[in-house]
Amino acid sequence: MICNNLTVNKEGHLCLGGQDTIELAKQYGTPLYLMDEDRIRERCRTYMTAMKEAFGETSLPLYASKAASFKQIYRIMKEEGMGIDVVSSGEICTAIAVGFPMERAYFHSNNKTDADIDYAMANGIGYFVVDNREELDAIEYFASKRSITQKILLRLTPGIDPHTYAAVNTGKVDSKFGSAIETGQADEMTAYALAQKHIKLSGYHCHIGSQVFDSDTFLRAAAIMIDFANQMREKYNFVIDELDLGGGYGVRYTENDPEIDIAENIREIAGAVKAQCKALDYPMPAIRLEPGRSIVADAGMTLYTVGTVKQIPGYKNYVSVDGGMTDNPRYALYRSSYTVLLANRANDETTPFKCSVVGRCCESGDILQENVTLPANTARGDILAVLTTGAYNYAMSSNYNRIPRPPVVMLKDGESYVAVKRETYEDVCKNDI
Protein backbone atom coordinates (compact mmCIF):
# COMPACT_ATOMS: atom_id res chain seq x y z
CA MET A 1 0.00 0.00 0.00
CA ILE A 2 1.05 3.59 -0.51
CA CYS A 3 1.62 4.24 3.20
CA ASN A 4 2.65 1.86 5.98
CA ASN A 5 -0.30 2.88 8.18
CA LEU A 6 -2.62 0.99 5.76
CA THR A 7 -3.36 -2.71 6.12
CA VAL A 8 -6.14 -5.18 5.32
CA ASN A 9 -7.50 -7.41 8.10
CA LYS A 10 -8.72 -11.02 7.85
CA GLU A 11 -12.27 -9.86 7.02
CA GLY A 12 -10.81 -8.10 3.98
CA HIS A 13 -11.48 -4.70 5.55
CA LEU A 14 -9.15 -1.79 5.00
CA CYS A 15 -7.50 -0.61 8.22
CA LEU A 16 -5.95 2.76 9.00
CA GLY A 17 -3.48 2.89 11.87
CA GLY A 18 -4.54 -0.69 12.68
CA GLN A 19 -8.24 0.22 13.02
CA ASP A 20 -11.00 -1.34 10.92
CA THR A 21 -12.45 1.39 8.68
CA ILE A 22 -15.75 -0.46 8.29
CA GLU A 23 -16.27 -0.41 12.05
CA LEU A 24 -15.41 3.29 12.05
CA ALA A 25 -17.86 3.96 9.19
CA LYS A 26 -20.58 2.16 11.21
CA GLN A 27 -19.77 4.11 14.35
CA TYR A 28 -19.47 7.59 12.85
CA GLY A 29 -21.40 7.36 9.56
CA THR A 30 -20.23 8.49 6.12
CA PRO A 31 -18.90 10.57 4.51
CA LEU A 32 -16.15 10.53 7.08
CA TYR A 33 -12.68 12.01 7.29
CA LEU A 34 -10.29 9.84 9.27
CA MET A 35 -6.92 11.08 10.48
CA ASP A 36 -4.23 8.94 12.02
CA GLU A 37 -2.85 11.09 14.84
CA ASP A 38 0.11 8.77 15.41
CA ARG A 39 1.17 9.28 11.79
CA ILE A 40 0.88 13.08 12.07
CA ARG A 41 3.09 13.05 15.16
CA GLU A 42 5.56 10.70 13.48
CA ARG A 43 5.90 13.12 10.56
CA CYS A 44 6.38 16.10 12.89
CA ARG A 45 9.16 14.19 14.67
CA THR A 46 10.82 13.26 11.40
CA TYR A 47 11.09 16.95 10.47
CA MET A 48 12.00 18.07 13.97
CA THR A 49 14.76 15.50 14.49
CA ALA A 50 16.20 15.79 11.00
CA MET A 51 16.28 19.58 11.13
CA LYS A 52 17.85 19.77 14.60
CA GLU A 53 20.48 17.21 13.59
CA ALA A 54 21.25 18.73 10.22
CA PHE A 55 20.84 22.46 10.87
CA GLY A 56 21.29 22.69 14.64
CA GLU A 57 19.08 23.52 17.61
CA THR A 58 18.00 26.95 16.33
CA SER A 59 16.17 25.42 13.36
CA LEU A 60 12.43 24.78 13.45
CA PRO A 61 9.83 23.16 11.20
CA LEU A 62 6.65 25.25 10.84
CA TYR A 63 3.52 23.27 10.05
CA ALA A 64 1.75 25.00 7.13
CA SER A 65 -1.65 24.89 8.72
CA LYS A 66 -3.58 25.74 5.54
CA ALA A 67 -3.23 22.01 4.78
CA ALA A 68 -5.58 21.12 7.65
CA SER A 69 -6.67 23.73 10.14
CA PHE A 70 -8.77 22.91 13.20
CA LYS A 71 -8.18 23.12 16.92
CA GLN A 72 -6.87 19.62 17.51
CA ILE A 73 -4.18 20.01 14.84
CA TYR A 74 -2.85 23.09 16.62
CA ARG A 75 -2.89 21.22 19.95
CA ILE A 76 -0.82 18.47 18.37
CA MET A 77 1.62 21.01 16.88
CA LYS A 78 1.93 22.72 20.23
CA GLU A 79 2.70 19.41 21.97
CA GLU A 80 5.21 18.43 19.30
CA GLY A 81 7.03 21.76 19.68
CA MET A 82 6.43 22.73 16.06
CA GLY A 83 6.05 26.28 14.78
CA ILE A 84 3.13 27.11 12.49
CA ASP A 85 2.54 29.00 9.27
CA VAL A 86 -0.84 30.76 9.28
CA VAL A 87 -2.44 32.62 6.38
CA SER A 88 -5.49 34.34 7.80
CA SER A 89 -7.05 35.75 10.94
CA GLY A 90 -9.27 32.66 10.93
CA GLU A 91 -6.29 30.35 11.25
CA ILE A 92 -4.77 32.63 13.90
CA CYS A 93 -8.01 32.60 15.85
CA THR A 94 -8.15 28.78 15.73
CA ALA A 95 -4.55 28.48 16.97
CA ILE A 96 -5.11 31.00 19.76
CA ALA A 97 -8.22 29.12 20.87
CA VAL A 98 -6.01 26.23 22.01
CA GLY A 99 -3.28 28.42 23.44
CA PHE A 100 -0.74 27.91 20.67
CA PRO A 101 2.41 29.95 21.55
CA MET A 102 2.08 32.69 18.96
CA GLU A 103 5.76 33.63 19.06
CA ARG A 104 6.22 30.45 16.99
CA ALA A 105 3.62 31.57 14.40
CA TYR A 106 4.54 33.02 11.00
CA PHE A 107 1.83 34.99 9.22
CA HIS A 108 1.74 34.60 5.43
CA SER A 109 -0.59 35.97 2.71
CA ASN A 110 -0.12 38.23 -0.27
CA ASN A 111 -2.86 40.57 0.93
CA LYS A 112 -3.18 40.97 4.66
CA THR A 113 -5.80 43.54 5.50
CA ASP A 114 -5.26 46.23 8.12
CA ALA A 115 -7.65 44.30 10.34
CA ASP A 116 -5.54 41.13 9.89
CA ILE A 117 -2.34 42.97 10.76
CA ASP A 118 -3.84 44.63 13.82
CA TYR A 119 -5.40 41.35 15.01
CA ALA A 120 -2.20 39.35 14.54
CA MET A 121 -0.16 41.96 16.42
CA ALA A 122 -2.72 42.20 19.21
CA ASN A 123 -2.28 38.46 19.63
CA GLY A 124 1.51 38.55 19.70
CA ILE A 125 2.25 36.97 16.32
CA GLY A 126 5.92 36.03 16.11
CA TYR A 127 6.59 37.03 12.54
CA PHE A 128 4.89 38.55 9.53
CA VAL A 129 6.16 37.06 6.30
CA VAL A 130 5.87 40.26 4.33
CA ASP A 131 4.79 40.09 0.74
CA ASN A 132 4.88 43.67 -0.48
CA ARG A 133 5.57 47.31 0.31
CA GLU A 134 2.02 48.28 1.27
CA GLU A 135 2.13 45.57 3.89
CA LEU A 136 5.45 46.88 5.25
CA ASP A 137 3.88 50.34 5.60
CA ALA A 138 0.87 48.93 7.41
CA ILE A 139 3.03 46.86 9.79
CA GLU A 140 5.21 49.88 10.56
CA TYR A 141 2.07 51.92 11.26
CA PHE A 142 0.46 49.40 13.61
CA ALA A 143 3.76 48.52 15.34
CA SER A 144 4.48 52.20 15.99
CA LYS A 145 0.97 52.66 17.39
CA ARG A 146 1.68 49.81 19.82
CA SER A 147 5.28 50.99 20.44
CA ILE A 148 6.65 47.56 19.62
CA THR A 149 9.30 46.24 17.26
CA GLN A 150 7.72 43.67 14.98
CA LYS A 151 9.85 40.86 13.57
CA ILE A 152 9.38 40.08 9.91
CA LEU A 153 10.72 37.95 7.08
CA LEU A 154 10.53 39.16 3.50
CA ARG A 155 8.96 36.76 1.04
CA LEU A 156 11.11 36.58 -2.06
CA THR A 157 10.70 34.77 -5.36
CA PRO A 158 13.95 33.09 -6.34
CA GLY A 159 12.81 32.62 -9.95
CA ILE A 160 12.57 28.85 -9.97
CA ASP A 161 10.05 26.64 -11.71
CA PRO A 162 9.54 23.45 -9.68
CA HIS A 163 7.49 21.78 -12.46
CA THR A 164 4.43 21.06 -10.41
CA TYR A 165 0.85 22.00 -11.34
CA ALA A 166 0.18 25.66 -12.13
CA ALA A 167 -2.07 26.37 -9.15
CA VAL A 168 0.71 25.60 -6.66
CA ASN A 169 3.70 26.89 -8.61
CA THR A 170 4.85 29.96 -6.68
CA GLY A 171 8.62 30.33 -6.98
CA LYS A 172 8.64 31.92 -10.43
CA VAL A 173 9.19 35.67 -10.98
CA ASP A 174 5.68 35.94 -12.44
CA SER A 175 3.80 35.15 -9.23
CA LYS A 176 1.24 36.92 -7.08
CA PHE A 177 3.44 36.08 -4.10
CA GLY A 178 6.52 37.91 -2.87
CA SER A 179 9.15 40.20 -4.37
CA ALA A 180 11.41 38.99 -7.13
CA ILE A 181 15.16 38.88 -6.72
CA GLU A 182 15.63 39.12 -10.49
CA THR A 183 13.80 42.45 -10.91
CA GLY A 184 15.63 44.24 -8.08
CA GLN A 185 12.44 44.48 -6.02
CA ALA A 186 13.78 42.15 -3.34
CA ASP A 187 16.73 44.50 -2.90
CA GLU A 188 14.41 47.54 -2.70
CA MET A 189 12.23 45.79 -0.13
CA THR A 190 15.30 44.98 1.96
CA ALA A 191 16.40 48.61 2.00
CA TYR A 192 12.88 49.77 2.77
CA ALA A 193 12.39 47.28 5.61
CA LEU A 194 15.76 48.19 7.14
CA ALA A 195 14.74 51.85 7.16
CA GLN A 196 11.62 51.27 9.28
CA LYS A 197 11.77 52.17 12.96
CA HIS A 198 9.38 49.55 14.33
CA ILE A 199 10.31 46.62 12.14
CA LYS A 200 13.10 44.14 12.63
CA LEU A 201 14.01 42.36 9.43
CA SER A 202 14.95 38.89 10.66
CA GLY A 203 15.51 37.27 7.31
CA TYR A 204 14.08 35.95 4.08
CA HIS A 205 11.49 33.44 2.99
CA CYS A 206 10.77 31.60 -0.23
CA HIS A 207 8.36 28.86 -1.23
CA ILE A 208 8.86 27.35 -4.65
CA GLY A 209 5.70 25.28 -4.94
CA SER A 210 3.83 22.29 -3.64
CA GLN A 211 3.78 18.54 -4.36
CA VAL A 212 7.42 18.82 -5.49
CA PHE A 213 9.53 15.66 -5.82
CA ASP A 214 12.67 17.07 -7.36
CA SER A 215 15.12 17.72 -4.50
CA ASP A 216 17.32 19.72 -6.84
CA THR A 217 14.81 22.59 -6.93
CA PHE A 218 15.06 23.01 -3.14
CA LEU A 219 18.84 23.07 -3.39
CA ARG A 220 18.79 25.68 -6.16
CA ALA A 221 16.33 27.86 -4.22
CA ALA A 222 18.48 27.70 -1.09
CA ALA A 223 21.60 28.62 -3.07
CA ILE A 224 19.88 31.62 -4.69
CA MET A 225 18.58 32.84 -1.32
CA ILE A 226 21.97 32.66 0.40
CA ASP A 227 23.67 34.29 -2.51
CA PHE A 228 21.13 37.12 -2.33
CA ALA A 229 21.57 37.42 1.45
CA ASN A 230 25.30 37.74 0.88
CA GLN A 231 24.78 40.51 -1.67
CA MET A 232 22.61 42.35 0.82
CA ARG A 233 25.34 42.02 3.45
CA GLU A 234 27.79 43.64 1.06
CA LYS A 235 25.36 46.41 0.14
CA TYR A 236 23.66 47.20 3.46
CA ASN A 237 25.88 45.51 6.04
CA PHE A 238 22.81 43.50 7.01
CA VAL A 239 23.02 39.83 8.04
CA ILE A 240 19.96 37.59 8.26
CA ASP A 241 19.12 35.64 11.42
CA GLU A 242 16.65 33.32 9.73
CA LEU A 243 16.15 31.69 6.37
CA ASP A 244 12.77 30.09 5.68
CA LEU A 245 12.82 27.75 2.70
CA GLY A 246 9.07 27.12 2.62
CA GLY A 247 7.23 23.85 2.18
CA GLY A 248 6.41 21.70 -0.78
CA TYR A 249 7.58 18.11 -0.35
CA GLY A 250 5.39 15.81 -2.42
CA VAL A 251 3.44 12.87 -1.02
CA ARG A 252 2.27 9.57 -2.47
CA TYR A 253 -1.27 9.77 -3.77
CA THR A 254 -0.75 6.66 -5.90
CA GLU A 255 1.79 3.90 -6.35
CA ASN A 256 3.29 5.96 -9.19
CA ASP A 257 4.41 8.73 -6.84
CA PRO A 258 7.89 8.24 -5.45
CA GLU A 259 8.49 8.17 -1.73
CA ILE A 260 10.63 11.03 -0.50
CA ASP A 261 13.10 10.39 2.29
CA ILE A 262 12.52 13.65 4.16
CA ALA A 263 15.41 13.23 6.59
CA GLU A 264 17.83 12.46 3.76
CA ASN A 265 16.60 15.49 1.78
CA ILE A 266 17.05 17.75 4.80
CA ARG A 267 20.60 16.45 5.30
CA GLU A 268 21.35 17.16 1.65
CA ILE A 269 20.07 20.74 1.87
CA ALA A 270 21.91 21.29 5.15
CA GLY A 271 25.15 20.07 3.61
CA ALA A 272 24.81 22.47 0.70
CA VAL A 273 23.69 25.45 2.81
CA LYS A 274 26.49 25.00 5.33
CA ALA A 275 29.10 24.65 2.59
CA GLN A 276 27.87 27.79 0.84
CA CYS A 277 27.80 29.82 4.07
CA LYS A 278 31.31 28.64 4.87
CA ALA A 279 32.59 29.52 1.42
CA LEU A 280 31.11 33.02 1.70
CA ASP A 281 32.08 33.35 5.35
CA TYR A 282 28.40 34.06 6.04
CA PRO A 283 27.02 33.27 9.52
CA MET A 284 24.75 30.24 9.33
CA PRO A 285 21.13 31.44 9.72
CA ALA A 286 18.46 29.58 11.71
CA ILE A 287 16.55 27.51 9.16
CA ARG A 288 12.78 27.17 8.86
CA LEU A 289 10.86 24.76 6.65
CA GLU A 290 7.09 24.89 6.20
CA PRO A 291 5.74 21.43 5.46
CA GLY A 292 1.97 21.15 5.19
CA ARG A 293 0.96 18.30 2.90
CA SER A 294 3.80 16.02 3.96
CA ILE A 295 2.75 16.30 7.62
CA VAL A 296 -0.92 15.44 7.26
CA ALA A 297 -1.74 14.02 3.80
CA ASP A 298 -1.14 10.31 4.28
CA ALA A 299 -2.51 10.41 7.82
CA GLY A 300 -5.90 11.00 6.20
CA MET A 301 -8.52 8.96 4.41
CA THR A 302 -12.12 9.65 3.41
CA LEU A 303 -14.84 7.01 3.62
CA TYR A 304 -18.03 7.16 1.58
CA THR A 305 -21.04 4.93 1.07
CA VAL A 306 -21.68 3.85 -2.50
CA GLY A 307 -25.10 4.83 -3.87
CA THR A 308 -26.03 4.69 -7.53
CA VAL A 309 -23.99 2.49 -9.87
CA LYS A 310 -24.70 3.47 -13.44
CA GLN A 311 -23.45 1.68 -16.55
CA ILE A 312 -23.81 3.49 -19.85
CA PRO A 313 -23.18 0.87 -22.55
CA GLY A 314 -20.57 2.01 -25.05
CA TYR A 315 -19.61 4.96 -22.81
CA LYS A 316 -18.56 4.55 -19.24
CA ASN A 317 -19.59 3.56 -15.76
CA TYR A 318 -20.34 5.83 -12.86
CA VAL A 319 -20.19 4.99 -9.17
CA SER A 320 -21.78 7.72 -7.07
CA VAL A 321 -20.93 8.26 -3.43
CA ASP A 322 -22.50 10.27 -0.60
CA GLY A 323 -19.84 13.01 -0.68
CA GLY A 324 -17.86 14.59 -3.50
CA MET A 325 -16.38 17.94 -4.48
CA THR A 326 -17.77 19.48 -1.30
CA ASP A 327 -15.40 17.41 0.84
CA ASN A 328 -12.67 17.00 -1.80
CA PRO A 329 -12.54 19.57 -4.61
CA ARG A 330 -9.01 18.62 -5.68
CA TYR A 331 -9.89 16.53 -8.72
CA ALA A 332 -12.32 19.18 -9.93
CA LEU A 333 -9.66 21.86 -9.45
CA TYR A 334 -6.39 20.17 -10.38
CA ARG A 335 -7.24 16.74 -11.80
CA SER A 336 -5.40 15.31 -8.78
CA SER A 337 -4.77 11.59 -8.67
CA TYR A 338 -5.97 9.48 -5.76
CA THR A 339 -5.99 5.82 -4.84
CA VAL A 340 -9.58 4.63 -4.55
CA LEU A 341 -10.75 1.22 -3.35
CA LEU A 342 -13.63 -0.57 -1.65
CA ALA A 343 -12.85 -0.57 2.06
CA ASN A 344 -15.16 -3.49 2.84
CA ARG A 345 -13.62 -5.68 0.13
CA ALA A 346 -10.08 -4.39 -0.03
CA ASN A 347 -8.66 -7.62 -1.45
CA ASP A 348 -11.47 -8.28 -3.95
CA GLU A 349 -9.90 -8.45 -7.38
CA THR A 350 -12.77 -10.30 -9.11
CA THR A 351 -13.66 -8.99 -12.57
CA PRO A 352 -12.37 -5.47 -12.41
CA PHE A 353 -14.86 -2.75 -13.23
CA LYS A 354 -13.58 0.55 -14.67
CA CYS A 355 -15.56 3.56 -13.55
CA SER A 356 -15.60 7.21 -12.63
CA VAL A 357 -16.22 7.80 -8.95
CA VAL A 358 -18.45 10.84 -8.68
CA GLY A 359 -20.06 12.86 -5.95
CA ARG A 360 -23.63 13.82 -5.20
CA CYS A 361 -23.47 17.49 -6.21
CA CYS A 362 -25.62 18.88 -8.94
CA GLU A 363 -22.65 19.44 -11.24
CA SER A 364 -20.98 17.26 -13.89
CA GLY A 365 -17.53 18.34 -12.72
CA ASP A 366 -18.20 16.78 -9.33
CA ILE A 367 -15.76 13.93 -9.89
CA LEU A 368 -13.52 12.39 -7.25
CA GLN A 369 -11.52 10.26 -9.66
CA GLU A 370 -11.72 8.84 -13.18
CA ASN A 371 -10.48 5.48 -14.46
CA VAL A 372 -10.89 3.80 -11.10
CA THR A 373 -10.87 0.01 -10.91
CA LEU A 374 -13.36 -1.48 -8.45
CA PRO A 375 -14.83 -5.00 -8.19
CA ALA A 376 -17.53 -5.58 -10.84
CA ASN A 377 -20.26 -6.20 -8.29
CA THR A 378 -19.71 -2.85 -6.56
CA ALA A 379 -23.13 -1.90 -5.28
CA ARG A 380 -25.16 0.45 -3.13
CA GLY A 381 -24.03 0.11 0.48
CA ASP A 382 -20.37 -0.70 -0.21
CA ILE A 383 -17.90 1.52 1.63
CA LEU A 384 -15.48 3.30 -0.64
CA ALA A 385 -12.18 4.75 0.56
CA VAL A 386 -10.19 7.56 -1.00
CA LEU A 387 -6.67 7.51 0.41
CA THR A 388 -4.25 10.34 1.28
CA THR A 389 -6.92 12.96 1.90
CA GLY A 390 -5.42 14.48 5.05
CA ALA A 391 -4.14 17.62 3.31
CA TYR A 392 -6.24 20.25 1.54
CA ASN A 393 -9.47 18.26 1.75
CA TYR A 394 -11.27 19.27 4.95
CA ALA A 395 -9.40 22.59 4.59
CA MET A 396 -10.91 23.21 1.15
CA SER A 397 -14.34 21.75 1.80
CA SER A 398 -17.52 23.72 1.18
CA ASN A 399 -21.27 23.65 1.72
CA TYR A 400 -22.06 23.73 -2.01
CA ASN A 401 -25.58 22.40 -2.55
CA ARG A 402 -26.00 22.95 1.21
CA ILE A 403 -24.24 19.70 1.93
CA PRO A 404 -22.99 19.52 5.54
CA ARG A 405 -19.28 18.87 6.02
CA PRO A 406 -18.23 15.42 7.31
CA PRO A 407 -16.68 15.09 10.74
CA VAL A 408 -12.95 14.62 11.29
CA VAL A 409 -12.32 11.55 13.41
CA MET A 410 -8.83 11.06 14.80
CA LEU A 411 -7.25 7.69 15.47
CA LYS A 412 -4.75 7.31 18.27
CA ASP A 413 -3.32 4.29 20.13
CA GLY A 414 -6.13 2.02 18.95
CA GLU A 415 -8.85 4.51 19.98
CA SER A 416 -10.87 7.00 17.95
CA TYR A 417 -12.34 10.37 18.83
CA VAL A 418 -14.13 13.23 17.09
CA ALA A 419 -11.86 16.22 16.44
CA VAL A 420 -14.40 18.12 14.30
CA LYS A 421 -18.12 17.37 14.60
CA ARG A 422 -20.29 16.49 11.63
CA GLU A 423 -22.15 19.58 10.46
CA THR A 424 -25.89 19.56 10.90
CA TYR A 425 -28.56 21.14 8.70
CA GLU A 426 -28.91 23.80 11.41
CA ASP A 427 -25.18 24.56 11.01
CA VAL A 428 -25.62 24.90 7.29
CA CYS A 429 -28.22 27.65 7.63
CA LYS A 430 -27.10 29.16 10.93
CA ASN A 431 -26.11 32.52 9.39
CA ASP A 432 -29.26 32.93 7.34
CA ILE A 433 -31.60 35.62 8.62
Q: Are 2 and 387 in contact (CB under 8 A)?
A: yes
- Regarding 294 and contact with ligand LLP (CB under 6 A), the answer is yes
Q: Does 168 engage in binding with ligand LLP (CB under 6 A)?
A: yes
Residue 112 CA to residue 128 CA, distance in Å, equals 10
- Site map 333..372 versus ligand LLP, x via CB under 6 A: ----------------------------------------
Return the range that interacts with ligand LLP (CB under 6 A); candidates 189-197, 218-226, 242-250, 272-280.
242-250
3-state class (DSSP) for residue 400? helix
Establish if 247 lies at the interface with ligand LLP (CB under 6 A): yes
Which region among 90-98, 233-241, 244-252, 270-278 touches ligand LLP (by CB under 6 A)? 244-252
Among the listed residues 207, 252, 345, 360, the single contact to ligand LLP using CB under 6 A: 207
241: amino acid identity, one letter: D
**Among 116, 131, 140, 290, interactor with ligand LLP by CB under 6 A:** 290
Q: Which is nearer to ligand LLP, 39 or 108 (CB)?
A: 108
Under rule CB under 6 A, which residues in 4-63 are in contact with ligand LLP?
Answer: none
Among the listed ranges 40-48, 286-294, 368-376, 415-423, the one in contact with ligand LLP (CB under 6 A) is: 286-294
Q: Which residues contact 232 (CB under 8 A, 6 or more apart)?
A: 187, 190, 238, 240
Q: Which candidate, 286, 184, 275, 285, places its Cα nearest to that of 235?
A: 184
Compute the CA torsion angle 268, 274, 278, 281 (nearest 10 deg): 140
The residue from 31, 248, 300, 406 that contacts ligand LLP (CB under 6 A) is 248
**Does the protein bind ligand LLP through residue 162 (CB under 6 A)?**
no
DSSP class of residue 225 equals H
Query: Closer to ligand LLP at the Cβ: 211 or 369?
Result: 211
Active site residue 277: no
Residue 171 contacts ligand LLP per CB under 6 A: no
Give the whole-angstrom CA distance, residue 110 versus residue 135: 9
| Cα diameter, the chain | 72
8 Å CB contact between 342 and 383: yes
> Any idea what the Cα angle at residue 413 is, between residues 347 and 27, rounded to 5°?
60
Catalytic residue of the set 44, 277, 362, 429? 362
Residue 336 neighbours by CB distance under 10 Å: 18
**Which among 72, 99, 91, 80 is positioned nearest to 416, based on CA atoms?**
72
Candidate segments 188-196, 204-212, 269-277, 423-431, binder of ligand LLP by CB under 6 A: 204-212
Q: Which stretch binds ligand LLP (CB under 6 A): 47-55, 71-79, 241-249, 377-385?
A: 241-249
The residues, ordered by sequence, that sit 6+ positions from 91 with a Cβ below 8 Å of its Cβ are: 65, 66, 69
Q: How far is the CB of 127 from ligand LLP (least distance, A)?
A: 12
- Check residue 291 for interaction with ligand LLP (CB under 6 A): yes
- Cβ-based nearer residue to ligand LLP, 119 or 249: 249
C-beta of 429: minimal distance to ligand LLP in Å?
Answer: 27
In the bound state with ligand LLP, the residue whose beta carbon lies nearer, of 249 and 338, is: 249
Residue closer to ligand LLP (CB basis): 294 or 416: 294
Buried b (16+ CB within 10 A) or exposed e, 298-321: bbbbbbbbbbebeeeeeeebebbb
Angle between helices 133-146 and 185-194 (to 10 degrees): 10
Enzyme catalytic residues = 362
Which residues make up the interface to ligand LLP (CB under 6 A)? 64, 67, 85, 108, 168, 207, 210-211, 246-249, 290-294, 330, 392, 396
